[in-house]
Structure 1
Amino acid sequence: MSTYPLSPIDHIFTGVGSYPIEFVFAYDGVIEEERLRDTLNETLCLFPPARSKLVRTSEHAYGFEVSDEGIHFETVSSSINFDDQEYRHTYIDPVDSVEDEPLTRIRLTRTPKGSVLGVSMSHAVVDGFSYFYFLSTWARIFNGSRVLDPVHNREVLIPAELQRDTSTTITRADVLDEAGLFWESRREAIARDQLVWETRTISREAMNALLAEAQKDSDLRLSHNDVITASLWKDYLGKWESLNGDDTTYISCPVDFRRILKPFAPN
């Protein structure tokens, strides 16, 4: 079995309570299950990590082990149409990013008026870009279109042994420890039925106003996504912290650098 290494940022998205990337897609008409499975298998040949399980490679690290048990596909039926379904999470078979569990789960739901495809993938395996790169490749293969093969050179994401001076060597284990990463025993999962789902609509005018206000004090070029994310954090952190009577909040935010592979030299 082939094994791919995890980078430090990958480890952040492992363990109980680490939520996967999940989307559901509703279609009119019936999707042919056999064709869907066949083209999925063809797509997985190009994306081996999507068909993998977590295995511990050392005391400090996991690896992605490619396996036939690394992906789960199921077909179910529902008497409720997609537009009438209040609980959309029923279309998802959620991934648990823990050892020996499949890191991709796909559920095809037959409804009276069509089909719903739910795809759950471990955030350790994919970020948002690669999640949709995988899905778009699958769609192109399903429709007989040409595809562009992905690159899986994950070695560039693994921390090297850095020699800072004659007395100190920063090892891979040091990187993981100092980053404050956690393993599955340190975090309690939140039951999905305890999550509160909200829909917020932000107008283009409001987005532009947020961006203009934030850009005044920033030397970096900001995006709408940057300021909307910051605004949501500001709103919700205030609500959460008010529950325990503390008006001061400290947060640490991991930065997902997995698509930024430019080499750099330490100071």
Structure 2
Amino acid sequence: MKRRHIELVRSGSATGLRIPLCVLDATMGAVSTGRAFFFREPLDGAALRSSLARVLKSYPLLSGRAERDANGVLHVLCDDSGVHFEEENSLVDMGSCTVALDRKPSLNTFLPKASVIRLVGQGVPLLAVKLTHLAGGGSVLGVHMKHVLADGKAYTQFLLDWAAEHRGLPYRTPCHDRWLLDGLADGAPPQKGEHNSRFVVASRREKYALLSRMTLRARKLRTTTCRFEASELHAMKQAATAHLPYGWISTSDALTAHLWHLLGPLRARSATSVERLGVLVDFSSYLKEIPENYWGNTITCTELRLPVSEMQDCSLGKTARLIRESMSENTAANALDEIAYLREQRLAGRERKVMPRMLYRAYTNMLQVNDRTKLPFYDLDFGSGTPFRCELPHVPIPWAAQIMPTPEKDGSREVHLSLPKSAAEVLTAEPSWQAHLHKYA
């Protein structure tokens, strides 16, 4: 029989402060970001709760609750309402977690329950944790965090700090002053209007229609995971560099170009149509006013467009170089323009209507890429070794690629592709498509 234990973990140091979230945070909506880490050795639930309570003193937002003020601006009340922590003994063993994907238990088995439509209220924790003890040994640590608080980089930093606290190691105190980001727009030219290149101000009807479409079409999607070995990626970059007109490209540029070349024909769009590539980018490195220990959302995106006819004639190296140039256009000035635009929408009372344009384009002609290769998922160590596997929930939008590191840390990578089921079946079942996917193997 399964045994479940649920409690709220608190730091014991409620400040009562109301910390306003910055305008970029507010665009993330109620979505939760999930991770599941698989450990071969068992984790101690009581010890994890104890170290979590201690680290929450440095992360008061995570044990607080989101609320809106009279103007609709999002705040976090640091009242130490607690982190939802669930511990369970499972009948599933480790062997069942490492078999072929279609025979594995659902990842939701190992993730804590998280509301995907609610954000504000005492009953909505901003962080939820689930520890599952597998039959025969081993543990799975599942985590859900509201995206309004942190992007992937900050999310991972919290986990590493928790592990450091658990092991009695020092770590840097994070900076939670969200005004540092909003304040960068002081003195910027007015960014008026309801449209900009990255965001759109949607009506209530448009927003509801988009969210309904995401909910309905999510059932028709399938996540396909493919692994690219280090030698394969090396050959891919060499092939791209051989046809490179000029400049330098990274391995990620070459892999992204390869995926774009592959998935474009899979959509079988006409030669006169246009394909879009959207790549998420962290801008914290080129905004020098933001301290290194700033903890929150510091992401933007870059977009590249090519006619299908031009893509067909474009070499891997040229496409990779175009991607590199597009990434280079994400300057500090562009980030400040975005922040200034979002501040204008907040002042005009339109903050809750702002949505990323990439969500709309996911259902038309865009491949979205989130490259997490440099995030140290596999450095997470609570004293019994690092995880041998990190799994992500399904992305509820089509034509999305998440690039992940691998536990071997040898330069190989995993790509999680969210595709319509028909496209996923073609890619995985037909040898010609598999040969094209791994043409550099």
Q: TM-score, normalised by structure 2?
A: 0.49
2:170 maps to 146
Paired position in structure 2 for 1:200: 226
2:25 alignment partner, one of 1, 10, 14: 10
Q: Distance in 1 between matches of 2:260 and 2:61?
A: 31
C-alpha distance in 2 between matches for 1:130 and 1:40: 16
Give 1:73's aligned residue: 85
Aligned to 1:125: 149
1:103 to 126, 130, 134: 126
Note if contact 2:19-2:77 (Cα within 8 Å) is conserved in structure 1: yes
Deviations 1:119-174 (A, max 9, x none): 1222332222222211111112112222222222321211534453xxxx337x96
Instruction: Provide the rounded CA distance (Å) in 2 between the counterparts of 1:246 and 1:156.
Output: 45
Is the 1:8–1:175 contact (alpha carbons within 8 Å) kept by the matching residues of 2?
no
Q: Pick the aligned partner of 1:84 from 73, 90, 96.
A: 96
Deviation at 1:45, TM superposition (A): 1.0
2:63 pairs with 1:64: no
| % identity of equivalent residues | 22
Instruction: Please give the secondary structure, in 2, of the residue aligned with 1:42.
Output: helix
Aligned to 2:347: none
Q: 1:135 aligns with which of 145, 148, 159?
A: 159
Instruction: Report the Cα offset of residue 60 of structure 1.
Output: 6.5
Work out which of the residue numbers 170, 180, 191 in structure 1 matches 2:200.
180
Question: Per the alignment, in what secondary structure is the counterpart of residue 46 of structure 1?
Answer: coil
Deviation at 1:79, TM superposition (A): 0.4
Instruction: Give distance in 2, aligned partners of 1:176 and 1:114.
Output: 48
**Distance in 1 between the 2:271 and 2:94 partners?**
41
User: Contact conserved, 1:13 with 1:97, CA < 8 A, in 2?
Assistant: no
Query: Are residues 97 and 9 of structure 1, via their aligned partners in 2, closer, same or farther at CA, if it must alter by over 3 Å?
Result: farther
Report the residue type matching 1:131 in the other structure.
Answer: Y
Alignment partner of 1:37: what SS?
A: helix
Letter in 2 for 1:124: V
Is contact 1:3-1:66 (8 Å) kept?
A: yes
Task: Give 2:162's aligned amino acid.
Answer: W
Aligned partners of 2:25, 2:48: CA distance in 1, in Å? 29
Contact 1:104 1:122 in 2 (8 A): yes
3-state secondary structure, aligned to 1:148: coil
Q: Deviations over 1:12-42 (max 9, x none)?
A: 4224xx451423232423x322221111011
Match of 2:237 in 1: 211
Residue in 1 that maps onto 2:50: 38
Contact 2:36–2:143 (8 Å) recurs in 1: yes
**Is the Cα contact below 8 Å between 1:76 and 1:108 reproduced in 2?**
yes
Query: 1:227 offset after TM fit, Å?
Result: 3.4
Q: Which has the higher strand share?
A: 2
Unaligned runs of 5+ in 2: 1-15, 98-103, 290-331, 338-441
Q: Output one character per residue of 1:26-71: Cα deviation in whole Å (capped at 9) or x when no partner.
A: 2423x32222111101111112232344333465643333344463
Count matched residues: 257
Alignment root-mean-square deviation, CA: 3.7
CA 155–22 in structure 1, closer or farther in 2 if over 3 Å, else same: same
* Separation in 1, partners of 2:220, 2:82: 28
- Inter-partner Cα distance in structure 2 for 1:223 and 1:58: 47
Instruction: State the partner residue of 2:61.
Output: 49
1:251-262 matches, within 5 Å, as 255-258=281-284, 260-262=286-288
* Counterpart residue type for residue 11 of structure 1: A
Between the aligned partners of 1:55 and 1:49, the Cα distance in structure 2 is 12
- Specify the alignment match of 1:170 in structure 2: 191
Q: Which residue of 2 aligns with 1:160?
A: 185
Task: State the TM-score, normalized to the length of structure 1.
Answer: 0.76
> Any idea what SS the aligned residue of 2:171 has?
coil
Q: CA deviation at 1:243?
A: 8.6
CA distance in 1, matches of 2:245, 2:60: 44
Q: Does the aligned pair in 2 maintain the 1:9–1:254 contact within 8 Å?
A: no
- Counterpart code for 1:170: Q
- Deviations 1:228-262 (Å, cap 9, x if unpaired)? 344335534554x4499995334555544355432
